[in-house]
Copies of this chain bind each other. A is one copy, B any other.
Amino acid sequence: MSGEDTPAPQQSEDQVQKGQPAGEPEAEPPQEPQGEASNEAATEAATEAATAATTEAEESQPASTAANDKAPEEEAFTYRALVLTGYGGYDKVKLQLKKGRPNPRSGEVTVRVKACGVNFPDLLARQGLYDRLPSPPVTPGMECSGFIEAVGEDVTDRKVGDRVMVLERCGLWQEVVLVKADHTFLMPEGMTYEEGAAFPVSYITAYVLLFEMANIRPNKSVLIHMAAGGVGIAATQLCQTVSDVTVFGTASANKHEVIKQGGVMHPIDYRTRDYVEEIRKISPQGLDVVLDPLGGSDTQKAFNLLKPMGTLVVYGAANRLSGQRKNLLALAKSWYSQFTISALSLMHSNKAVCGFHLGYLDNEFALISGVLQKLLHLYQQGKIKPRIDSTYHFEQVSDAMRRMQDRNNIGKVILLTEPKKEEPKSKEDSKDQKEEGQNDIKKEEPKEGVETEQPKTGES
């Protein structure tokens, strides 16, 4: 993408900077993309990748339907987008250029995207295991942050320059998105774009699981699997807003120190121990709430772990993710061991089973919006705060996905739309990269251990 094609943002610097913390990398003026027009390597890669299926990709974008009948100047408008080109390994997500300025229609806004969240379902989607993503070619991405670049007719509560988070079923991993105004949420002062991109999916999910479905209250015990992940850390923080909730959490061993600091009273290394046994040792009578993002045989284990009057909330099937490609055997196995329950068994055990899937709540934006408002209130009180594990530029999307899939992240993995600045290369560096055939830009170090600030806790 060349700088000349970048649209001149339609608002003053003032509007954008208002509400931004000084010194944040996100506080760049809207013109900023123009300043990076010299990133040739990135442009090259993007342009190359974009040769194939841009039009088809556009057609399948619910969030960025290209407007028809564009003026030639608008046709010439291009923007970078990540596109899933087929199911399989990391290389299936490609950086491409899309053409044509998306113009907001009534009720819509255009958002200039600064950062995007990577969620576990994006990994599943890449393998064809996520049923809420249209068929490839398609742009993934359920959450992002940025600023409003244009508003359609009848949009009264958003204006050009507003800093917003966006939540969509998919299509947000691109520089410019066209979305319904009510799928955007104003970012509070002090929230960075990285935080904004890390916020909606994890916190909405965690909140609904705990407060809408499980009805968590003082003195309850809860098991959080994947406790060091995006949803896991959000859930742990939200548990701290209720007095005397005992949190059990499973995570890879090297993450225990961090999640313990965050409020997991009993971290369990599920990779070397039988977590059911470990929990029974501590709480022989079982638990009040189990949140289950794993599926398969772990759902039955979760159900068995419940005390009478306990609640199981199923919200994922991470066990399906078993490698680089759609693994039919693993699928068949997890189908076979899929959890079903009769009304009679529920009565005899006095238990509750709930299911949650944000991707199927498309029509419930009023509800989602209500939950987000409560969450932003908690954020502003300092009670919750996204933990950013690492940030990657669009060019590095493979590394971003690999970081999660290799179970290395503690907190959220974030994608930045901004092209990675070329660093002066030594001859060897450049040779290595060509051999690997990987990224043309050096991966940004994950900020492990950098984000030490913990949110304040207290009762709500």
Contact = CB atoms under 8 A, between A and B. Distances in A.
Contact of A351 (B299, B317, B355): B355
A22 interface: no
A160 interface: no
A367 interface: yes
A361 interface: yes
Contacts of A338: 342-344
Contact of A341 (B299, B317, B340): B340
A156 interface: no
Given A342-B338, A342-B340, A347 B314 contact: yes
Interface residues of A, number: 38
Contact of A309 (B343, B344, B345, B367): B367
A343 B295 contact: yes
A406 interface: no
Contacts of A107: none
B355 A360 contact: no
A393 B415 CA distance: 76
Interface string A357-387: 1001101100100000000000000000000
Interface string A333-356: 000001111111111111111111
A347 B340 contact: no
Contact of A346 (B308, B345, B350, B355): B355
A197 to B, nearest CB: 24
Interface string A319-341: 00000000000000000001111
A221 to B, nearest CB: 14
A356 B292 CA distance: 22
A371 to B, nearest CB: 10
A340 B350 CA distance: 15
Interface in A249-283: none
A299 B344 CA distance: 11
Given A309-B367, A340-B340, A354 B346 contact: yes
A315 interface: yes
B350 A352 contact: no
Nearest to A314: B343
Interface of A: 208, 212-213, 215, 292, 295, 299, 308-309, 311, 314-315, 317, 338-357, 360-361, 363-364, 367
29 contacts: A212-B215, A215-B215, A299-B343, A308-B364, A308-B367, A309-B361, A309-B367, A311-B354, A317-B344, A338-B343, A339-B343, A340-B341, A340-B342, A340-B343, A341-B341, A343-B355, A346-B354, A347-B355, A347-B357, A348-B357, A348-B360, A349-B355, A349-B360, A350-B355, A350-B357, A350-B361, A351-B354, A352-B354, A353-B354
